[in-house]
Amino acid sequence: MTTEKDYSANSIQVLAGLSAVRKRPGMYIGSTGIKGLHHLVYEVVDNSIDEAMAGFCSTITVVLHKDGSVSIQDDGRGIPTEIHPKYNISGVELVMTKLHAGGKFDKDSYKVSGGLHGVGISVVNALSKKLHVQVCRNGKLYTQDFAKGNKLTSLEEKGDCSERGTLVKFYPDEEIFETVEFHFDTLSARLREIAFLNKGVEIKIKEEHTEKEHVFKYDGGIVSFVEYLNKNKNPLHEVISFNKEKNGNAIDIALQYNDSYQENIFSFVNTINTTEGGTHLTGFRTALTRVINNYAQKKDSIRLTNEDVREGITVVISVKIPEPQFEGQTKTKLGNSEMKGIVDSVVSAELNTYFEENPAAIKTIIDKCINAAKARDAARKARDLTRRKGALNAHSLPGKLSDCQSRDPAQGELYLVEGDSAGGSAKAGRNRKFQAILPLRGKILNVEKARMNKIFENEEITTMITALGCGIGEEFNIEKARYHKIIIMTDADVDGAHIRTLILTFFFRHMKPLIEKGYLYIAQPPLFRLKKGKSIEYFYDEEKLDQKMKEIGKENTSIQRYKGLGEMNPGQLWETTMDPVNRTLLQVTLEDAVEADKIFTILMGDEVDPRKQFIQTHAHEVVNLDV
């Protein structure tokens, strides 16, 4: 292990220059939208986490300032301030102005690290209109200022300091980013994740203008993560966890089954969330299925599949490896081939040992998996039966679907409309070229409480699956989706909100890739129609309606409050809710999968107390309530 004295400017190696970053920022941070903006924060935090993983940092503080800047402060060793022998500039200036410069390329300084392979903090500097860095190191305080990747001042010694660490404060450049407004909740979700993955490190986030503040510190590490994920579910046994090192790779895994029907797996490499999985996840799944099958065949002759052993499992897999290779569209899939065998062998050995010592746990797990296998068989029969009736057939569409003329999924829009009455208005008012209408009758099945066989028995859901064309479960294929805009259109009342939530639950649990691709939307029908003389105007909230009534006065005015879509004629529905020129659509995005899972479990699951507590906590936020 390195010591504080070993970490100096000599540890920093440089691979390339910084010129292309401002020209093509997407190559370095993914996008210039909100995700790219947040990526800047993660890059700086990753540097602090590298210090924590090396054993030198215990506290990280992120502050969203009123002036639009964000600061990240840690109590690590501080960026080296000495002059680099080759480049003849300080270590601080080097890492801030040279691409691929950092201690991550010196294996003696960091055995493993996250971040963008060392491009991080210089890219943050390049895409900031202003950046200030402050280093406390060897009892001295140093500062330096930069703008758009260039230095404004030289590194200056400002006096003594008793603490140690680095503070980076930056202002993202409006010329580069579509928005420079940070989202507290999105950043908070990622920082919570990082805290779970780095046992004992305290991470704070504050937002000055709202005074919101979160503090994350988990001494249980990923065991605490699994307990958090299963908080509102019914766990079937204690958390099984192990942390092993093999061939220089650290394997940290925690898992626990619950009585739900969903798999909940989070995998990480050097704290990077590998949302597309990879070789470490494949190794885990292969070992899990084999080990549980070995025990199951002693009890029952049934052969369990991957799908059977994953029902109701919550797993966090965190591996830390010296040289990760990422692949996939978003570079979030681990490609190191050796990790499959390494994780497989570790998981096999550890699970076998645990189950030998805890026979009650393996008995409970096998019973759960066997029930899942029986349900899968029932689901297959239900699927076949549904197909024989003509549904779920890729070559035939449901009778009540009014399809669009376009066969290009990128152009097509599918409206999932509450009720036949509104469906009739939508069919009459739509643009047939690109808008398809599927009326849904009543409230669909709550899939949070149902296995797949029950889903195939629900007519409204099977109609929806057939219309969408991408299949479900093991047959799901997003490339076969018939529409790239799926729009939920329900009444603006309590029943409409409930139906919308049931549909969202279905998409989140069984077609999550459609949400991740950005295909799912919620229509915003107006709440009010204001008529004054011959002039008609629509309003989507009461506050804007009231503002208009100051302006124009109440004389000769009439107000209609829409409770349902069926109250609008086809022309009104088109004009307000379906015309791409005038309508407002809310895109459903997945910014915090952990929090989303928690909310769906609370609102739609079996446990009453968490739901009651949630309603009591959030009652004051209700805006439109039908009594």
3-state DSSP of 490-549:
CCCCHHHHHHHHHHHHHHHHHCHHHHHCCCEEEECCCCEEEEECCEEEEECCHHHHHHHH
Q: Beta 240-246 vs 249-257: how paired, if at all?
A: antiparallel
Q: Are 543 and 471 in contact (CB under 8 A)?
A: no
pTM of the model: 0.81
| Spans in the chain with pLDDT lower than 50 | 14-16, 104-105, 115-118, 627
Residues taking part in catalysis: 418, 491, 493, 495
Question: Over the Cα atoms of the chain, what is R_g?
Answer: 28
CA-based nearest residue to 523, from 478, 492, 483, 493: 492
Query: Within 10 A of 4 (CB to CB), how many other CB atoms are there?
Result: 13
Let me know if domain 389-526+579-590 sits in CATH 3.40.50.670: yes
Distance of CA 613 to CAs 42, 234, 484, 616, Å? 33, 17, 37, 5
Q: What is the DSSP letter of 85?
A: T
CATH code of 222-370, in short, is 3.30.230.10
- Burial of residue 329 (number of CB atoms within 10 Å: 0-12, 13-18, 19+): exposed
Q: Which three-class secondary structure state does DSSP give residue 595?
A: helix
The secondary element (H helix, E strand) that includes residue 602 is helix 593-604
Residue 180 burial by CB count (10 A; 0-12/13-18/19+): exposed, middle or buried? middle
CB burial class (10 A; 0-12, 13-18, 19+) of residue 555?
Answer: exposed
Q: 227 phi and psi, to 5 degrees? A: -60, -40
Rounded-to-integer distance, Cα 184 and Cα 242, Å: 33
Given the candidates 3.30.1180.10, 3.40.109.10, 3.30.565.10, 3.30.2350.10, the CATH classification of the domain at 9-216 is 3.30.565.10
Cα–Cα distance, 215 to 225 (Å, whole number): 15
Strands 585-587 and 150-151, by their bridges, are: unpaired
Residues 6+ apart with CB under 8 A from 365: 236, 237, 257, 292
Please report the pLDDT score of residue 16 as a whole number: 47
Q: Are 5 and 97 in contact (CB under 8 A)?
A: no
pLDDT of residue 543: 80
Q: Are strands 249-257 and 313-320 parallel, antiparallel or unpaired?
A: antiparallel
d(CA 464, CA 414): 10
* Predicted local distance difference test score (pLDDT) of residue 27: 80
Q: What stretch of H or E contains 560? A: strand 557-561
Torsions phi, psi of 162, nearest 5?
-90, -25
Length of the chain: 627
Residues 6+ apart with CB under 8 A from 360: 237
Q: What pLDDT is stored for residue 376 in this prediction? A: 87
Question: Which residues, at least 6 apart from 459, have a Cβ–Cβ distance to it below 8 Å?
Answer: 391
Q: Which of 79, 186, 187, 191 is nearest to 141 (CA)?
A: 79
- Here the tokens at position 373 are 């296998």
